[in-house]
Chain A
Amino acid sequence: MSLIALSAGFLPLLDSVLLVLAREKGFAAAEGLDLHLVKETSWANIRDRAALGHFDFAQMLAPMPIAATLGLNPLSVPMITPMMLGLGNNGVTVSAGLWARLADAGAPATLAAGPVGAALKQVVASSQQKLRFGVVHQTSSHNYELRYWLMASGIVPERDIEIVVLPPPLLPEALGSGGIDGYCVGEPWNTVGVKNAGAHIATVKAAIWRSSPDKVIGMRAHWAEANSDIVAGLIRAVHHAAVWCGESVNHQEIAAIMAAPHYLGLPAELILPALNGQFDIGGGATAMVPEHFVPYAGAANFPWTSHAAWFYSQMVRWGEVEHKAERARAAAMTFRPDVYRSALAPLGVPMPLADSKVEGLLSAPTEVASTAGTLVIGPDGFFDGVPFDPDQVEAYIAGQRAP
């Protein structure tokens, strides 16, 4: 049987791991797919080449397919997200100098978003110069969650601090050379900052917004429709990779695979923390973050339309798009739980019956209605306790306006 060739772009980040495993462990081949992975240098390239069809699909920042569907980019074509590449994986890392000031202001070395944010507010207030933070892209979960954390801590981006964009591999170096004071990025680039630039991990995505998505599979809506069998096969292949990735017995092997020059090109010991949650957070301190990167458990691959709606609310919040009810609907419908469910139906795995959920409703792991068997998800929601109800997007946006 000859395999169907599929080409996909990715950036050197740990959360490309499910695509890498789909290829390297034969899950893609088992679905009749010959998966070609192309390492790219910028999210702009991923976006443009996916739009032009150079890539059949790509690892994308969760808000990217939404921005494409809303026509916010040059070369915009409608995109869909039929599957998430896991939950979590980001952290906020600061320079040794900034960490010393945060610690003086009472920041605990526990990664807790609230107390570290409160300390940052004090430091910002007493700084002569604006602190500068790096994120990987404007339309990224990193940008939105960093800004959310800052705002909820009483710090107004642009007024109180500066946010710049840099590609992930260049962030640790920029921190080391003093160009920036901190950054929000996916692993392994927080760990690299700790090891190579004497940095300190201040907080993590799992503390700012629990059970939250970061990278997705993005593809052109027309292509997905015309190739529904291929898309279903791809979803099954990545599903098997996600299950396999979630088993701790495989972590060493996964780190070794990801260490290869054509994937991350970094020593395996810098890759392992993101997988097992055991972090060296700087200055000899360690922290255990069990939810740091969740490849499969708790419906981690399920594309909740409410997640898309939240990203949309942040695009409105930061002036990237003006709110209109039909835009909010189009944004939410970029995520396609129906495509995900129909692809995995033959496997009989438990999937949520609902398409969306209220963020911040679940404070403990909770069993939810599912297609088969038992499914436990959560806890979810934001560190400041403000819930997000996807049916009340307008009110949520209005409530966010005031700094």
Chain B
Amino acid sequence: MPVQDLAILVIDENRIRASIIEDGLREAGHARVTVVNEINEVARVIERDMPDVVVIDLENPNRDRLEHFFTLSRALKKPIAMFVDRSDASAIEAAVEAGVSAYVVDGLKKERVKPILDMAVSRFNAFARLTRELEQARSELEDRKVIDQAKAILLRTRGLSEADAYKLLRKTAMNQNRRIVDIAQSLVTADSLLGPEE
């Protein structure tokens, strides 16, 4: 397979995600993969490696700078086009949804580059899932803390048991069509405003 000969540059300020993508590309048999975390190095690396494919995350504020650099660079003999094939709308859609942008040296055959973009998209999505789950876990922990505080307030001010305090919070949330944690947060805020000064 001639695919492995392609030089691929991955630009991502997120080092963990960058290394996940790099690993994926290497597992797929790509030996010429360079990762750049620091945008100031990009110009030098492009001159040195003359990449065929450049993968950059969409959150990177330096996309405009990179594109401008492409228009100036003498190292890249041909203009660089975004994505493999303009007509492949679903591939473009998937890439943008995942947060990936790819630049490809004009003239490269679609079948040579498509697997690289697919790989980047799937690794971006996998990374997003991981971080989303982490955030979810963190916010659930935060929610539990607030609900515990609210229960403690009800215990103290109304003499309710813990189970009854929770029931009251849940009933209020249902009546107001809000989340329990929002009701709990309101109660905690009100208590801090109305409570004795420290």
- Chain A positions within 8 Å of B, measured between CB atoms, are 41-45, 48-49, 52, 54, 74-75, 136-138, 164-167, 169-170, 179
- Give Cα A52 to B97, complex, Å: 11
Least Cβ–Cβ distance between B53 and chain A, in angstroms: 14
Interface size on B (CB < 8 Å)?
Answer: 21
Q: Which residues of B contact A136 (CB under 8 A)?
A: 64
Given A42-B63, A44-B101, are A74 and B83 also a contact pair (CB < 8 Å)?
Answer: yes
Given A45-B58, A48-B101, A74-B81, are A165 and B68 also a contact pair (CB < 8 Å)?
Answer: yes
Q: Is the CB of A165 within 8 A of B65?
A: yes
Number of A-B contacts (CB under 8 A): 58
Q: Which residues of A contact B86 (CB under 8 A)?
A: 74-75
User: In the complex, what residue of chain B is closest to A170 when comparing beta carbons?
Assistant: B61
- Give Cα A167 to B68, complex, Å: 12
Q: Is the CB of B96 within 8 A of A41?
A: no
Q: Is the CB of A45 within 8 A of B63?
A: yes
Q: Which residues of B contact A45 (CB under 8 A)?
A: 58, 63
Q: Is the CB of B82 within 8 A of A41?
A: no
User: In the complex, what residue of chain A is closest to B89 when comparing beta carbons?
Assistant: A52
Point out the residue from B69, B81, B96 that lies within 8 Å of A48, measured CB to CB.
Answer: B96
B162 within 8 Å of A by Cβ? no
Bitwise interface map of B from 80 to 111 toward A, beta carbon under 8 Å scored 1, else 0 = 01110010000011001000010000000000
Q: Is the CB of A52 within 8 A of B68?
A: no
B62 within 8 Å of A by Cβ? yes
- Give Cα A42 to B13, complex, Å: 15
Q: Which residues of A contact B83 (CB under 8 A)?
A: 74-75
Q: Is the CB of B61 within 8 A of A169?
A: yes
Q: Is the CB of A49 within 8 A of B96?
A: yes
Q: Which residues of A contact B61 (CB under 8 A)?
A: 41-42, 167, 169-170
- Give Cα A166 to B86, complex, Å: 27
User: In the complex, what residue of chain A is closest to B62 when comparing beta carbons?
Assistant: A167
Point out the residue from A49, A54, A75, A167 that lies within 8 Å of B65, measured CB to CB.
Answer: A167
Least Cβ–Cβ distance between B83 and chain A, in angstroms: 7
Residues in B47-72 with C-beta less than 8 Å from chain A: 58-65, 67-69, 71
